[in-house]
Amino acid sequence: MDNPYIEAEISDIVKNGRFLVIGGTGTIGSSICRELFASDPKVLHVVDISENNMVELVELFNKMLLEFNHKETGNFLDDRM
């Protein structure tokens, strides 16, 4: 986006928002979940019929958290993940 005001407004909405993504491990749903998760929402609930895909999405979220922590502090939260 080119408008920093709109970006700030959207960021604020997401950070204070509670989201439910149904079909969250499909192609579109997982993309939405990744974008929301990266913006640090207050609550993100993901529902899907595929347990395997849900496990993969949770692993991706864990990896994103580790990468974020590494960028912020230079350390990994837990090297066992």
Task: Please state, in angstroms and rounded to a whole number, the distance separating the CA atoms of residues 11 and 55.
Answer: 27
CB 19 within 8 A of CB 41: yes
CB 69 within 8 A of CB 58: no
pTM of the predicted model, to two decimals?
0.76
Q: Please report, in tens digits, the pLDDT of each residue of the chain (81 residues total).
A: 688 899 899 999 999 999 999 999 999 999 999 999 999 999 999 999 999 999 999 999 999 998 887 777 766 555 444
